[in-house]
Amino acid sequence: MGSKQKKRITKSILKNCEITASVINGMFQVIPDTGEIYWKVRLSGKQTVGDKAGTINGCGYNLITVDHKYILGHQVVWMYVHGEIPEELDHVNGDRSDNRISNLRKATHSQNLCNRSTQKNNTSGFKGVSRHQNGWAIDIRGNGERLRSTRKNYDEAVALAKEFAMKLHGEFYNDR
């Protein structure tokens, strides 16, 4: 089969169906241990067979464009290994560009939020702890539970927030 015919077939597959494991396997060479993804077919003049697939977008994810459709690199790696893409995937170490299969896990939206980093506008340095009048407010929530409290001492507030968050968030807890 010639490269033009293969390109036409690949494009028609994408237009007529969802991106499936067989499409992923036909289009990409995936190395699950490193998370690297390479093109197996040439779809445009910009990329060639063997090129790394995708670019890191403004949010830090590897974004791959296929026939005007977008798929994230971690979804490609997961589908290559498991044959499906779950509702949400979580990067265990919080690095959105680290798509090693050992760094990916299924998660609910709530679990994924538990594992996110401390926001840039956080002034206390710890998730769920903020300045409140002459002390510190604690607000930790998840899975229908919530802790709201205040402490005069910062270290006490952080210790209480950390203890509750660890219990509530389990393996998805992080204090980054």
* Same domain, residue pair 65 and 101: yes
The pair phi, psi for residue 146, each rounded to 5°, is -150, 140
So what's the pLDDT on residue 37? 98
| Domain of residue 57, CATH code | 3.90.75
- The Cα–Cα gap between 160 and 62 comes to 37
Q: What is the 3-state secondary structure (H, E, C) of 42-69?
A: CCCCCCCCCCECCEECCCCCEEEEECCE
Domain-terminating residue out of 106, 137, 159? 106
So what's the pLDDT on residue 141? 87
- Please calculate the CA angle 69-73-78 and round it to the nearest 5 degrees: 110
So what's the pLDDT on residue 143? 76
* Same domain, residue pair 83 and 25: yes
**What's the structural domain count of the chain?**
2
- The Cα–Cα gap between 47 and 53 comes to 8
pLDDT in tens, 40-53: 998 877 889 999 99
* Same domain, residue pair 96 and 133: no
* Same domain, residue pair 18 and 101: yes
* Same domain, residue pair 80 and 101: yes
Task: Look at residue 76 and tell me if it is in a domain.
Answer: yes
Task: Look at residue 128 and tell me if it is in a domain.
Answer: yes
Cα separations in angstroms, 81 against 11, 39, 53, 72, 112: 23, 17, 17, 15, 21
* Same domain, residue pair 7 and 90: yes
Tell me the pLDDT band of 8, cut-offs 50, 70 and 90: very low
* Same domain, residue pair 100 and 126: no
Tell me the pLDDT band of 142, cut-offs 50, 70 and 90: confident
Tell me the pLDDT band of 69, cut-offs 50, 70 and 90: confident
Contact call for residues 62 and 84 (beta carbons, < 8 A): no
Task: Characterize the bridge pairing of strands 62-66 and 69-72.
Answer: antiparallel
Domain-terminating residue out of 72, 106, 140? 106
Q: Give me the mean pLDDT over the 23-46 stretch.
A: 92
Q: Which of 1-5, 9-13, 109-113, 140-144 has the lowest mean pLDDT?
A: 9-13
Range of the domain at 96: 3-106
Task: Look at residue 112 and tell me if it is in a domain.
Answer: no
pLDDT in tens, 88-138: 999 999 999 999 999 999 999 989 988 888 888 898 999 999 999 999 999
Task: Look at residue 80 and tell me if it is in a domain.
Answer: yes
Q: What is the mean pLDDT of the chain?
A: 87
